[in-house]
Structure 1
Amino acid sequence: MRTVSIQHAKANLSRLVDQAAQGEAFVITKAGRPLVKVVPIDRPTAAQMRRLGFMAGQFSVPEGFDRMGGEEIDALFDMNK
């Protein structure tokens, strides 16, 4: 694994972060001693990100669901009363 001094990391942080995000982990050293390891954050897989349809088949929607309570709603908005 690549090591870089803290001075080099300060001067080239943007480039080093871009490289780490692409999978090139590295260690930052100070006075020759390792301090921190910079690694990319694990990205969620496509299966983990999929949310639409995650409960498919778990329940059913009754017929006329989109019209339920329609009369009460119409009465609430009726301006002629």
Structure 2
Amino acid sequence: MEGLREYGVHEAEGRLLQIRERVATGEEVVITKAGTPIAKVVPLHPGVRRTGRGSLVGAIHIPDDSDELPGDVADVFGMG
């Protein structure tokens, strides 16, 4: 990936502190396996605080009917 610092999986294991520092200063880092990107480590948005379960309460809304599939979709999966 152009413009991003890449580390192979094994190299990343040994350089976790360096990767953490790069990300803390705003850089994005890509982890590769056999030359193929498998993960991207990015800084959190400044307003995001993860404090454990429930940390997004009030920040998102999931409708009560979110588990229901529209009829045509349910039919495709044999659930209609």
TM-score, structure 2 length as denominator? 0.52
Report the Cα distance in structure 2 between the residues aligned to 1:15 and 1:33, rounded to whole angstroms: 21
Q: Which consecutive residues of structure 1, in runs of 5 or more, have no partner in the other structure? A: 45-81
**Correspondence for 1:63:** none
Moved over 4 A (4+): none
Q: 1:21 aligns with which of 21, 24, 32?
A: 24
* 1:18-59 deviations in Å (ceiling 9; x for gaps): 111111111000111100000000112xxxxxxxxxxxxxxx
Q: Which amino acid aligns with 1:15?
A: Q
Report the Cα distance in structure 1 between the residues aligned to 2:5 and 2:22, rounded to whole angstroms: 11
**Correspondence for 1:53:** none
Q: 2:42 aligns with which of 39, 49, 71?
A: 39
Q: Which amino acid aligns with 1:40?
A: P
Report the Cα distance in structure 1 between the residues aligned to 2:5 and 2:21, rounded to whole angstroms: 14
Pairing 1:1-81 to 2, within 5 Å after superposition: 1-44=4-47
How many positions carry a matched residue from both structures? 44
Bigger Cα Rg: 1
Measured on the aligned residues, the alpha-carbon RMSD in Å equals 0.8
Report the Cα distance in structure 1 between the residues aligned to 2:43 and 2:27, rounded to whole angstroms: 8
Q: Which consecutive residues of structure 2, in runs of 5 or more, have no partner in the other structure? A: 48-80
| Structure 1 or 2: more helix by fraction | 1
